[in-house]
């Protein structure tokens, strides 16, 4: 029997892959698995990955072949790969590209390599109304207005569609990347940023898809460079007003566009310009509970050539529906993780586009593009009185009691004393907990209720070093540029949210001059529901190769 003891993978018949963390080939195997599998569990010694149809379709869309995937598993497997696994991988990856949407005059045409597959699709009741005109055994005419809906439905039924129908050009926009910043310093795209732009804009099906890069690695610049390369009017969707202002600043600093060409479409300003920035909140706002969103017309009020979805893993459901009608426009999604807590990764795949580019975080860290982060979980016991209340509380109350453990205050005090000169971010979910700590240690807190002017002023002071410690509620999880932050203290989190863990770690990953290191502390109540949730959140960190050290509070 074939057996290679130094290899780290055990491939199982149910499409799960076990990865031994202490193998000398662990890093090599983890980086390879990222291209075509999803991490499921990450205890200390054995990580469990799963090969899914969606992970294989994303791999195929990114240019990987079934032979490459099978070779990776065979080359790194400790025991022989079950015989049916390569067959299944070839079948799943072969499906991507075997159905194609192409242009047919004013119509679209759905083509299949296999007439039996087309026959199978035509008999699916849910899509029959979208395929009214059969052309031959392998082709069916499709209305352009059903382009997104058809892709979404077929993907959900196990039939991914390669969209080769092309795009309508938006209004042309003359612009270029500026070689110097306002302060006179020069800059250029990093190699991986340029590779991401190439992957998005070139090749079969180029012009729609998702770029996955960690916070601090310059996803915004990838979006800006893609916009400049296309040279068309662009709509940028942001997670909030702070993110919008950061995007606007980067667009003006890094391109030749001027102030009168870049507009904000917000509650205060309704500027429709060559490059227009808006927020998900505004687009989904409804004047009444059952009324349709009031600002969806923005998608159609201008001849956009490109729509950029920042933090695409947060895309609200109503915008998914509207995106289904935007398939003739080029679409770029940017994110640090494609994990969605609602399980709608397949909708991102079909409506925004497949994953076009991804790079392991640890590789960027090794090359110095993001800070070298150490992740530490500190387990804090409940006091005797709190433990007695905890034992008889409901599950919901237990979660809150564990998150709000008052003994965490003493640990925060110890950590602030341990890092007296560092720029610290205190991250929490419960506002009263954050405000209690802020009063105790004298630092400001930014929440969703903080007025925008005050928020911008506090962020400015923090970046300039006038404030050493700042508290952030969940409003700080996304698109907050804090380049000086080197220590994060997470005092409470959202259940088992992997995406939140990725974003919060990203607050300290901006590269630092000199000592390019960062620390990410998570305070967890020992032997509680919070500890269980923390173990789920850690899966993302393990997937990216971050060791998660556990300490016990003094």
pLDDT at 477: 61
pLDDT at 476: 63
Asked if residue 17 and residue 131 are part of one domain, the reply reads no
Domain span at residue 27 reads 9-95
pLDDT at 305: 96
Asked if residue 355 and residue 373 are part of one domain, the reply reads no
pLDDT at 195: 94
Query: Cα separation of 34 and 544, whole Å?
Result: 8
Own/partner contacts of 88-95, CB < 8 Å, gap of 24 or more, are 88/15, 89/51, 89/56, 90/66, 92/53, 92/56, 92/57, 93/56, 93/57, 93/59, 93/60, 93/64, 93/65, 93/66, 93/69, 94/66, 95/53, 95/57, 95/158, 95/159, 95/160
Q: Residue 220 domain-assigned?
A: yes
Q: Residue 332 domain-assigned?
A: yes
Q: Residue 179 domain-assigned?
A: no
Report which of residues 216 and 273 the model is more confident about.
273
Rounded to an integer, the average pLDDT of 149-177 is 94
Q: What is the pLDDT of residues 491-547, one digit of tens each?
A: 987 765 667 777 788 788 888 877 888 999 999 999 898 888 887 777 777 767 777
Query: Cα separation of 344 and 35, whole Å?
Result: 19
Q: pTM of the full predicted structure?
A: 0.86
pLDDT at 509: 83
Q: What is the pLDDT of residues 14-50, one digit of tens each?
A: 999 999 988 999 989 988 998 999 888 777 788 889 9
Structure tokens belonging to residue 372? 């070298």
Q: What is the pLDDT of residues 450-477, one digit of tens each?
A: 888 888 899 889 988 999 999 998 776 6
Query: Cα separation of 207 and 94, whole Å?
Result: 22
pLDDT at 3: 85
Asked if residue 393 and residue 438 are part of one domain, the reply reads yes
Tell whether the model's pLDDT for residue 1 goes beyond 80.
Answer: no
Report which of residues 321 and 187 the model is more confident about.
187
Listed in order, strand segments (DSSP E) in 118-194 are 133-136, 139-142, 162-163
The fraction of the chain above a pLDDT of 70, given in percent, is: 97
Asked if residue 490 and residue 378 are part of one domain, the reply reads yes
pLDDT at 205: 74
Q: What is the pLDDT of residues 410-424, one digit of tens each?
A: 999 999 999 999 999
Rounded to an integer, the average pLDDT of 330-357 is 88
Among left, alpha and beta (phi > 0; psi -120 to 50; other), residue 52 is beta
pLDDT at 14: 95
Q: Residue 349 domain-assigned?
A: yes
Where does the pLDDT of residue 2 fall: very low under 50, low under 70, confident under 90, or very high at 90 and above?
Answer: confident
Asked if residue 317 and residue 379 are part of one domain, the reply reads no
Which of 100, 102, 109 lies closest to 142, judged by CA? 109
pLDDT at 154: 94
Contact 373, 501 (CB under 8 A): no
Query: Cα separation of 13 and 5, whole Å?
Result: 20
Tell whether the model's pLDDT for residue 488 goes beyond 70.
Answer: yes
Q: CA-CA distances (angstroms) from residue 435 to 102, 331, 430, 503, 522?
A: 56, 40, 9, 22, 18
pLDDT at 110: 95
Residues β-bridged to residue 552: 379
pLDDT mean across residues, the chain: 89
What is the number of other CB atoms lying within 10 angstroms of the CB of residue 408?
23
Q: Residue 183 domain-assigned?
A: no
Rounded to an integer, the average pLDDT of 440-453 is 89
545: domain CATH number? 3.40.50.300
Q: Residue 181 domain-assigned?
A: no
Contact 309, 209 (CB under 8 A): no
Where does the pLDDT of residue 479 fall: very low under 50, low under 70, confident under 90, or very high at 90 and above?
Answer: low
Structure tokens belonging to residue 256? 């030749």
Q: What is the pLDDT of residues 317-335, one digit of tens each?
A: 888 888 888 899 999 999 9
Q: What is the pLDDT of residues 65-123, one digit of tens each?
A: 999 999 999 999 999 999 999 999 999 999 999 999 999 999 999 999 999 999 989 88
Query: How many structural domains comprise the chain?
Result: 4
pLDDT at 101: 95
Asked if residue 411 and residue 443 are part of one domain, the reply reads yes
Strand order of the β-sheet with 355-358 is: 262-264, 275-279, 234-238, 306-309, 330-335, 208-212, 355-358
Report which of residues 458 and 478 the model is more confident about.
458
Query: Cα separation of 8 and 115, whole Å?
Result: 42
pLDDT at 483: 78
Burial call 319-357: b when 16+ CB within 10 Å, e when fewer: bbbbbbbbbbbbbbbbbbbbbbeeeebbbbbbbbbbbbb
Name the pairing type of β-strands 139-142 and 275-279.
unpaired
Asked if residue 112 and residue 22 are part of one domain, the reply reads no
Where does the pLDDT of residue 342 fall: very low under 50, low under 70, confident under 90, or very high at 90 and above?
Answer: confident
Asked if residue 280 and residue 199 are part of one domain, the reply reads yes
Query: Cα separation of 326 and 10, whole Å?
Result: 43
Lowest-confidence segment of 2-11, 62-71, 248-257, 474-483 by average pLDDT: 474-483
- Structural Rg of the chain based on CA atoms: 24
Asked if residue 26 and residue 117 are part of one domain, the reply reads no
Q: Residue 185 domain-assigned?
A: no
Torsion of CA 27, 29, 30, 34, to 10 degrees: 140
Tell whether the model's pLDDT for residue 56 goes beyond 60.
Answer: yes
The fraction of the chain above a pLDDT of 90, given in percent, is: 56
Residues β-bridged to residue 306: 234, 330
Q: What is the pLDDT of residues 252-290, one digit of tens each?
A: 999 999 999 999 999 888 999 999 999 999 998 888 888
Structure tokens belonging to residue 86? 């390569």
Q: Residue 60 domain-assigned?
A: yes
Asked if residue 455 and residue 414 are part of one domain, the reply reads yes
Asked if residue 316 and residue 204 are part of one domain, the reply reads yes
Asked if residue 109 and residue 75 are part of one domain, the reply reads no
């Amino acid at each position: 029997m074939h057996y290679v003891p130094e290899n780290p993978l055990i491939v199982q018949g149910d499409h799960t892959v076990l990865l031994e963390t202490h193998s000398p080939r662990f890093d090599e195997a983890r980086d390879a698995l990222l291209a075509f599998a999803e991490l499921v569990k990450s205890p200390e010694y054995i990580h469990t990955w799963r090969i899914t149809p969606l992970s294989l379709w994303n791999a195929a869309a990114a240019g990987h072949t079934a032979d490459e995937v099978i070779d990776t598993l065979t080359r790194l497997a400790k025991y022989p790969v079950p015989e049916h696994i390569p067959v299944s991988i070839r079948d799943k990856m072969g499906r991507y590209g075997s159905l194609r949407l192409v242009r047919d005059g004013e119509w679209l045409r759905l083509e299949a390599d296999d007439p039996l597959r087309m026959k199978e699709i035509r008999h699916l009741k849910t899509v029959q109304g979208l395929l009214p005109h059969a052309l031959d055994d392998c082709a069916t005419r499709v209305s352009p207005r059903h382009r997104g809906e058809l892709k979404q439905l077929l993907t959900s039924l196990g039939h991914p569609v390669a969209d080769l129908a092309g795009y309508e050009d938006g209004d042309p926009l003359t612009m270029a990347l500026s070689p110097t910043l306002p302060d006179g310093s020069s800059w250029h795209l990093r190699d991986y940023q340029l590779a991401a732009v190439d992957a998005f804009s070139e090749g079969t099906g180029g012009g729609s898809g998702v770029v996955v890069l960690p916070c601090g690695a310059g996803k915004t610049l990838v979006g800006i460079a893609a916009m400049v390369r296309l040279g068309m009017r662009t709509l940028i969707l942001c997670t909030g007003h702070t993110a919008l202002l950061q995007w606007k600043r980067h667009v003006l600093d890094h391109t030749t566009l001027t102030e009168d060409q870049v507009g904000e479409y917000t509650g205060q300003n309704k500027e429709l310009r060559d490059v227009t920035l808006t927020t998900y909140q505004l687009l989904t706002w409804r004047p009444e509970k059952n009324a349709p969103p009031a600002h969806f017309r923005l998608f159609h009020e201008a001849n956009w050539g490109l729509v950029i979805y920042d933090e695409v893993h947060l895309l609200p459901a109503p915008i998914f529906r509207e995106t289904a009608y935007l398939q003739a426009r080029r679409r770029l999604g940017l994110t640090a993780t494609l994990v969605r807590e609602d399980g709608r990764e397949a909708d991102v795949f079909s409506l925004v586009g497949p994953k076009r580019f991804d790079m392991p975080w640890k590789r960027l860290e090794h090359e110095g593009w993001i800070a070298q982060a150490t992740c530490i979980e500190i387990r804090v016991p409940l006091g005797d009185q709190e433990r007695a209340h905890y034992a008889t509380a409901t599950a919901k109350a237990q979660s809150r009691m564990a998150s709000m453990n008052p003994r965490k205050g003493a640990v925060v005090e110890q950590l602030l004393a341990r890092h007296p000169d560092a720029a610290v971010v205190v991250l929490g979910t419960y506002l009263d907990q954050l405000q209690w700590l802020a009063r105790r240690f004298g630092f400001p807190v930014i929440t969703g209720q903080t007025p925008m002017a005050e928020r911008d002023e506090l962020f400015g002071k923090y970046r300039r070093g006038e404030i050493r410690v700042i508290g952030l509620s969940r409003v700080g999880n996304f698109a907050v540029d804090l380049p000086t932050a080197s220590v994060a203290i997470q005092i409470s989190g959202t259940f088992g949210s992997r995406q939140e863990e990725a974003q919060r770690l990203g607050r300290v990953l901006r590269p630092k001059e000199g000592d390019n290191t960062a620390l990410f502390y998570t305070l967890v109540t020992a032997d509680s529901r919070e500890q269980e949730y923390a173990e789920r959140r850690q899966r993302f960190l393990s997937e990216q190769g971050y060791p998660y050290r556990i300490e016990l509070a003094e």
